[in-house]
């Protein structure tokens, strides 16, 4: 069984390569918009939306006469854009995404695709069609078969996301050698609280740069549309947004790497982020914390390090339940950071207590000793008729 991994690396193209990249971005954007116009006409005529193969076949029949400049780029640039639109319509018909929109220069994400056999990686260099060798900031980390590469541009910097097919038995060099287990509780004040009492503070990067963001956004709004000063102000603002994202992701990467390298079993709660974002008093803080990104990194890093992640159901009252005796405090509010159990009298820190409950559920059972000294397995807890263990495909390894 094979596993596909992607490694995103910054590249340093020269002026000739940058000119070619910009042309590829424009061709990919034009092909997507052309195909979207065809699909919208089919829907208006109450016809079936053409597939990616049909769109590619139609474009190839008219490309030489109407769009000969498309031959200046690799065939993958156009073909992948058409198949991306077909996949977007499939997600729309399944009601998992919105209706596809036209891509606008300067607003949409600039990227293009190159398929297998059209590029080569050697050390910290990558060879692309029509360009040649380009230096990368680092070498490829994963050994395996090269599948594809996506070249993208963010805040004036270029990146190559390389897909590699590796064996399912591949383990990252920083493998987990511990047998410890931990429960993870996510929050706004403390980003991560562990069941052993460790707390990792929330960097609150967006809050830190909020005043500077407002100033740059006001400056951008004052510039005349279409002027070079507006283009410069937009570049400065985009670079600040890029810096905020990098600081946040760097912190989360270091945090999740620490967890998967030091704990064999990691329990984490399945939070309803969309529902939490409806609270307008906490929406900005929740989005700045990036709970989904923490969960995503834990899941894929656990597969590479040999550890295991268990997802606890979102209806489990981890904060309200006493981790010692199991008493449930129904009167607990969000402002109560500590509370005393009325049954056993233990004073709980709200977040540490929640992490300990998550750990117990993630382990699957509580073990105790009976009169004969034998281990007794207690049944799994249930909350509102739902199972607390929500397994996701490919998480447990």
pLDDT (tens digit per residue) in 304-339: 888 888 888 888 888 888 888 888 888 888 888 887
| For residues 135-159, average pLDDT | 92
Positions annotated as catalytic residues are: 185, 269, 351
Mean pLDDT for all residues in the chain:
85
pLDDT of residue 166: 87
| pLDDT over 60 at 386, yes or no | no
pTM of the model: 0.82
Confidence tier at 383 by pLDDT (50, 70, 90): very low
Confidence tier at 1 by pLDDT (50, 70, 90): low
> Which positions ≥6 away from 286 have C-beta within 8 Å?
188, 273, 276, 277, 279
């Amino acid at each position: 069984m094979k596993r596909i991994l992607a490694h995103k690396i910054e590249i340093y193209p020269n002026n000739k390569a940058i000119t070619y990249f910009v042309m590829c971005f424009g061709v990919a954007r034009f092909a997507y918009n052309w195909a979207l116009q065809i699909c919208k006409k089919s829907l208006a005529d109450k016809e079936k939306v053409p597939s990616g193969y049909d769109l590619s076949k139609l474009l190839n029949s008219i490309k030489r006469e109407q769009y000969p400049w498309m031959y200046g780029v690799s065939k993958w640039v156009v073909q992948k854009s058409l198949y991306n639109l077909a996949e977007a319509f499939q997600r729309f018909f399944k009601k998992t995404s919105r209706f596809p929109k036209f891509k606008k220069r300067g607003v949409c994400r600039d990227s293009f695709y190159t398929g297998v056999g059209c590029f080569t990686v050697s050390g910290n260099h990558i060879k692309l069609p029509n360009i040649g060798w380009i230096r990368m900031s680092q070498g490829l980390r994963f050994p395996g078969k090269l599948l594809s590469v996506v070249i993208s541009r963010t805040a004036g910097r270029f990146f190559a996301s390389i897909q590699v097919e590796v064996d399912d038995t591949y383990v990252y060099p920083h493998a987990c050698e511990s047998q410890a287990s931990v429960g993870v509780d996510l929050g706004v004040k403390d980003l991560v609280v562990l069941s052993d009492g460790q707390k990792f503070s929330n960097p609150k990067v967006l809050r830190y740069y909020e005043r500077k963001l407002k100033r740059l956004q006001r400056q951008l709004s004052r510039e005349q549309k279409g002027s070079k000063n507006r283009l410069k102000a937009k570049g400065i603002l985009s670079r600040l947004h890029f810096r905020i994202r990098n600081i946040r992701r760097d912190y989360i990467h270091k945090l999740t790497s620490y967890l998967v390298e030091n704990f064999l079993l990691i329990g984490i709660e399945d939070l309803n982020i969309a529902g939490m974002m409806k609270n307008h008093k906490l929406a900005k803080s929740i989005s700045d914390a990036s709970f989904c990104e923490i969960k995503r990194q834990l899941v894929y890093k656990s597969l590479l390090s040999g550890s295991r992640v268990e997802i606890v159901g979102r209806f489990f009252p981890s904060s309200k339940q006493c981790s010692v005796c199991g008493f449930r405090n129904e009167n607990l509010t969000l402002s109560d950071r500590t509370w005393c159990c009325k049954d056993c009298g233990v004073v709980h820190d709200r977040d540490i207590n929640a992490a300990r409950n998550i750990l117990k559920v993630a382990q699957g059972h509580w073990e105790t000793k009976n009169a004969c000294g034998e281990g007794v397995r207690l049944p799994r807890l249930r909350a509102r008729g739902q199972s607390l263990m929500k397994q996701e495909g490919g998480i447990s390894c």
